[in-house]
Each structure stands twice: as structure tokens, then as C-alpha cells.
């Protein structure tokens, strides 16, 4: 078995679509807890979240959880009054749930951007529209190029004594000049790129889009598993209810609710499990 990140990009993208979709569109506490726990676990394991990301997330969690009860005064259980405004239990719980949702989504997005490299995004677009894929690839290249040239122009202009940032007006004027040079330079060079494309047959025929990725049986099978698990989760969500205002009214552990939560837990933990299996196989190979 390959690692989860080595699966076909469509499978990977579909996975994140499922997990993020469930996380972002449900305010059901059990699902959110599972999502938060697994997203942190995945983030740590795939190294998409480092120490700084954890600190940032913790701060964000606290802010999100605190802001809601300060701003929202709905709910019937008043805990105390703050500046003559009610501070309610319902708003506190809702705040925590929302904080869970936001934090979990961010962790999933970090994993997503780590797993979906530009090659993979290109592959997915290339299957639908080879031209779009090319535009994405060229854009990625140009962003880097712009940044590099901006720096070069700034240096040149500064060394010519033409770039002051002593006061605000000069600084703005200097940047405007850098931008103007950048645009001229890029447009002029764009001609060379366009010629290079044409010389290599761009536009002469229907383009194909090449990629190293293949679709394996495992990719299809995994996509099917994701679909089934997500379907169970959604079924679970529709058969449970979580009402926050005016009173907390949860009905979470219905039979479908339990099936849904279990399915979601399996879905969330699939990547680490798959990677663990691959890790073991490779370690075995080394010892043997």
C-alpha cells in the first residue's frame, strides 16, 4: 500500500472535500470533537502543523470561544451580567463549538495544502481542461518570477540613488516606479515566452495534459470507501439534532447518530492508518 499522500490526487482531493465539508457544515458537537482531534493528529503526523501553527490555533480557539458570548446574548441560562448584558451558557457552548469548527477546518486546510502540491492540482485540472492546467502552471511560475524581479528592481533603483523611503510620499512614488518597471519588463519578456510556446507547437493541435499519476484499483476503492463513510456520516447528521438557542437541546446518540459518528471517526483516521501500514512494510523491508 502506498502512503496516503501518494494516492491519486483525485482521491486525495476528494478525501479533503469530504472531511472539510462535514466539518464546516455541521455544528454537531460529537462530529466536531472527532474532527478537531483527528485534524490535530493528522497535522502533527504529516508535519503540516508545527509549533507556531499550534500556538496560533490555540490563540484563535480561545478568541473564537470568548467572542461569541461577549457579542451574543441569546440563551436562557444567564451565568452572570457583564456591563449589564447577560452572559449565557448557551452562547458559551456555541462559541466553543464554533471555535472547534474553525480550528479543525484550519488544521484540515493545512494538511490539504501540504498534500496537494502544485503538480497534483495541475493533474486534476489537466484532466478536465489541459489549457487551464497550463495557465495554473504558468501563473505559479510567474508569481515567483515577479517576486524575484521586484527585489532586483528595488535594489537597482536604490543603488542609482533614485529610491528614497525617507518619507511616505517618496516611498509611494518609489514603489510606483518599481511597479511600472516590473510591468514593462514582464510584458517585454512575455513576448519571448509566447514565441517559445509557439515554436514548440502551442496552439497547433488539441493539447493533451501529461502527468505521472495513474489511477490504481486502490484509488477507486478508497474513493468508494470515502463516499460510503461520508454518506453514513451525513445520515447520522440528519438523524441527530443540536439546538443551541434558546436552550441547549441535543439529541446525539440515536442509533444513526452513533453509526454516523463512528463512520466519521474511521474516515478521519484513515490517512494515519494507511501511512502506518506503509511505514511498517518499509521498516520490514529494511530489516529483511
Partner 1 sequence: MAYLDIKDLSFIYPDCSDKAIDGVSLSIERGEFVVLMGATGSGKSTLLRLLKPELRLNGDICGEVLFDGEDMSDLTPEKSASQIGFVGQYPEEQIVTDKVWHELAFTLENLGADRDTIARRTAEISAFFDIDSWYRADTSSLSGGQKQLLSLASVMTADPGLLILDEPTAQLDPITAARFIDAVYRLNRETGITVIISEHRSEELLPRADRLLILEGGRVIADGSPRSVARELSSDSPYISYLTSAARIYKAGSNIGEPALSIREGQRYLSSFDNKIRSLPDACEHKPAEIALELKSVFFRYERDGADILSDLDLTVCRGEVFALLGSNGAGKSTAALVASGLRKPYSGKIRLFGKPLKDYKNGSLYKGNISLLPQDVESVFIRDTVGEELKGCEGVISTIPYDLTDLFDRHPYDISGGERQLVALCKALATQPQLIIMDEPSKGLDVNAKAQLADIVLVLKDREVTVLLISHDVEFAAMCADRCAMFSQGRIAACEPTERFLSGNRFYTTAASRITRGVYEGAYTVERALKLISLNGGKT
Note the residues at the interface with partner 1 (CB under 8 A): 118-119, 122, 130, 134, 137-138, 140-141, 144-145, 148-149, 152-153, 155-161, 164, 166, 177, 180-181, 184-185, 188-190, 192-193, 195-210, 212
**DSSP letter at 4?**
G
In the bound state with partner 1, the residue whose beta carbon lies nearer, of 73 and 158, is 158
Collect contacts of 43-48 with beta carbons under 8 A, ≥24 apart. 43/107, 43/110, 43/111, 45/271, 45/272, 45/275, 46/5, 46/111, 46/114, 46/115, 46/271, 46/275, 47/114, 48/107, 48/110, 48/111, 48/113, 48/114, 48/115
Grid coordinates standing for 85? 448584558
| Torsion of Cα atoms, 192 then 194 then 195 then 197, to 10° | 120
In the bound state with partner 1, the residue whose beta carbon lies nearer, of 74 and 118, is 118
| Torsion of Cα atoms, 68 then 73 then 77 then 78, to 10° | 100
Which run of H or E residues covers position 261? Answer: helix 255-287
CB of 193 to partner 1, least distance (A): 5
CB of 14 to partner 1, least distance (A): 22
d(CA 151, CA 128): 36
Burial class of residue 248 (count of CB atoms within 10 Å of its CB; 0-12, 13-18, 19+): middle
CB of 59 to partner 1, least distance (A): 23
| Torsion of Cα atoms, 61 then 65 then 71 then 74, to 10° | 150
In the bound state with partner 1, the residue whose beta carbon lies nearer, of 155 and 247, is 155
CB of 1 to partner 1, least distance (A): 22
In the bound state with partner 1, the residue whose beta carbon lies nearer, of 189 and 238, is 189
Q: What angle do CA 46, 49, 51 make, to 5 degrees?
A: 130
Grid coordinates standing for 22? 462535514
Contacts (Cβ under 8 Å, ≥6 apart) of 36: 100, 103, 104, 107
82: which strand partners?
A: 85
CB of 180 to partner 1, least distance (A): 7
In the bound state with partner 1, the residue whose beta carbon lies nearer, of 52 and 200, is 200
In the bound state with partner 1, the residue whose beta carbon lies nearer, of 204 and 217, is 204
In the bound state with partner 1, the residue whose beta carbon lies nearer, of 194 and 282, is 194
CB of 194 to partner 1, least distance (A): 9
CB of 270 to partner 1, least distance (A): 27
In the bound state with partner 1, the residue whose beta carbon lies nearer, of 17 and 183, is 183
CB of 278 to partner 1, least distance (A): 20
Amino acid at each position: 500500500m502506498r502512503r496516503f499522500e501518494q494516492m491519486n490526487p483525485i482521491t486525495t482531493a476528494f478525501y479533503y472535500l469530504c472531511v472539510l465539508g462535514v466539518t464546516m457544515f455541521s455544528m454537531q458537537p460529537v462530529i466536531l470533537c472527532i474532527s478537531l482531534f483527528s485534524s490535530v493528529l493528522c497535522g502533527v503526523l504529516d508535519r503540516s502543523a508545527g509549533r507556531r501553527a499550534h500556538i496560533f490555533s490555540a490563540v484563535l480557539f480561545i478568541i473564537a470561544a470568548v467572542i461569541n458570548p461577549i457579542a451574543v446574548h441569546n440563551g436562557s441560562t444567564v451565568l452572570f451580567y457583564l456591563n449589564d448584558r447577560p452572559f449565557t451558557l448557551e452562547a458559551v457552548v456555541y462559541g466553543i463549538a464554533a471555535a472547534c469548527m474553525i480550528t479543525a477546518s484550519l488544521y484540515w486546510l493545512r494538511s490539504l495544502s501540504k498534500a496537494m502540491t502544485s503538480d497534483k492540482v495541475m493533474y486534476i485540472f489537466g484532466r478536465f481542461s489541459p489549457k487551464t492546467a497550463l495557465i495554473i502552471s504558468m501563473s505559479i511560475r510567474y508569481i515567483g518570477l515577479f517576486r524575484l524581479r521586484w527585489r532586483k528592481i528595488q535594489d537597482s533603483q536604490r543603488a542609482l540613488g533614485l529610491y528614497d523611503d525617507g518619507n511616505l510620499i517618496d516611498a509611494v512614488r518609489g514603489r510606483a516606479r518599481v511597479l511600472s518597471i516590473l510591468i514593462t519588463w514582464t510584458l517585454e519578456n512575455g513576448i519571448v515566452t509566447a514565441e517559445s510556446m509557439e515554436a514548440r507547437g502551442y496552439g497547433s493541435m488539441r493539447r493533451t495534459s501529461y502527468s505521472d499519476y495513474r489511477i490504481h484499483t486502490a484509488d477507486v476503492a478508497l474513493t468508494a470507501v470515502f463516499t460510503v463513510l461520508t454518506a453514513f456520516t451525513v445520515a447520522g447528521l440528519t438523524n441527530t439534532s443540536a439546538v443551541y438557542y434558546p436552550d441547549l437541546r441535543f439529541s446525539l446518540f440515536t442509533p444513526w447518530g452513533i453509526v454516523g459518528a463512528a463512520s466519521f471517526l474511521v474516515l478521519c483516521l484513515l490517512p494515519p492508518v494507511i501511512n502506518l501500514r506503509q511505514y511498517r512494510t518499509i521498516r520490514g523491508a529494511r530489516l529483511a
